[in-house]
Amino acid sequence: MAQAARVARALWPGKCALADRLGGRSWPPLLTQSRAVFAGTTSSRQGRSRLLGAVTLAVGGALGLYHTVRWHLRAQDLRAQRPAAQLSLSSRLQLTLYQYKTCPFCSKVRAFLDSHALPYEVVEVNPVRRAEIKFSSYRKVPILVAQEEGSSQQLNDSSVIISALKTHLVSGQPLEKVITYYPPMKALNDQGKEVTEFCNKYWLMLDEQEAQRMYGGKEARTEEMKWRQWADDWLVHLVSPNVYRTPTEALASFDYIVREGKFGAVEGAVAKYVGAAAMYLISKRLKNRHHLQDDVREDLYEAANKWVAAVGKDRPFMGGQKPNLADLAVYGVLRVMEGLEAFDDMMRHTRIQPWYLRVEKAITEASSAP
């Protein structure tokens, strides 16, 4: 049962990419949006954790600032050296996405790639053996491997993948250089476990002209960052408690996971029945951990309506006439519930359906364009 539960937490929110989720303090743009909570069971452990945390955050912030200043100093030279051929950067990238299909963080990345018509290959990772990513010391998904003109770059963490690729596409800076703007750092989570977080993960490294062309103003840029982080900090944590809310829903969720994932015959049978029972119980702890209401559907409904209210009535998307990175993040998280009771209930009891269908249509049109 414990192994099946680990599989489930890998395929659904909260465990498929620990680097995506650390609770706690937010840091400002251009330094880091990292969040880490340092805790321990004894006062000495707390002291060590806090000291390590302070040192880690200081080093991480310094790295982020260093790379940011370095970027600003080089931005003008990079623009001057940029060849005209870089206007078609997307056609020069060969992308391979290592994923679990039912993982919301992986779904976010697919939504971004499809909406930007970036061709990519998918490698479905076995959640038990994970042999497909044995090449990587970073053992979470999504992982994106990008090949360009003979060089190969590995990008980790869904938000870093999206921010780095978007920066690359808009600015034309070499992807190898862009990745250095998102340095990883080690931190302790609230269980005292060392995890990896990334500086600047919601920030696009653009010069003033590029940012103005893309956003039109600072308010739009700040709004996009805020809601991208909201999708990771809050929305994603509502998925598991809702799809495992009852034994029947848990079994239906695991039927979907096994059908869409990469399992052997025995692994699939164990995951479907033992995992469903385990995750039904675990979902109750998740509800308490995130202080959800007794009926977790109410939290899901509130989140959906809050998002719709933020988009407003005067624009089809938060990005205006086309989805921005926040639209794609929220859509990507919610999409993993399609076909399940929680998704159907959300569509019936909230105002999110028109926006959701507009994003779906926009992504379909973009990905199918010649």
Q: What is the mean pLDDT of the chain?
A: 81
Q: What is the pLDDT of residue 259?
A: 79
Does residue 112 have an active-site annotation? no
Task: Give this prediction's pTM.
Answer: 0.78
Does residue 16 have an active-site annotation? no
Residue 234 CB coordination number (10 Å) = 14
Does residue 198 have an active-site annotation? no
Domains in the chain (CATH in brackets) are 85-368 (1.20.1050.10)
One-letter amino acid for residue 9 of the chain: R
Residue 30 reports pLDDT greater than 90 = no
Q: What is the pLDDT of residue 22?
A: 37
Is 99 strand, coil or helix?
strand
Phi, psi of 317 (to 5 degrees): -135, 165
Lowest-confidence range among 73-87, 113-127, 195-209, 301-315?
73-87
Q: What is the pLDDT of residue 9?
A: 54
Residue from 90, 74, 85 nearest 148 by CA: 90
Name the catalytic one among 16, 38, 98, 106.
Answer: 106
Query: In the chain, what percentage of residues exceed pLDDT 70?
Result: 75
Q: List, for residues 277-319, the tens digit of each pLDDT value.
A: 888 888 888 889 899 999 999 999 999 999 999 999 999 999 9
Name the catalytic one among 103, 301, 317, 331.
Answer: 103
Q: List, for residues 213-257, the tens digit of each pLDDT value.
A: 999 999 999 999 999 999 999 999 999 999 999 999 988 988 888
Residue 104 reports pLDDT greater than 60 = yes
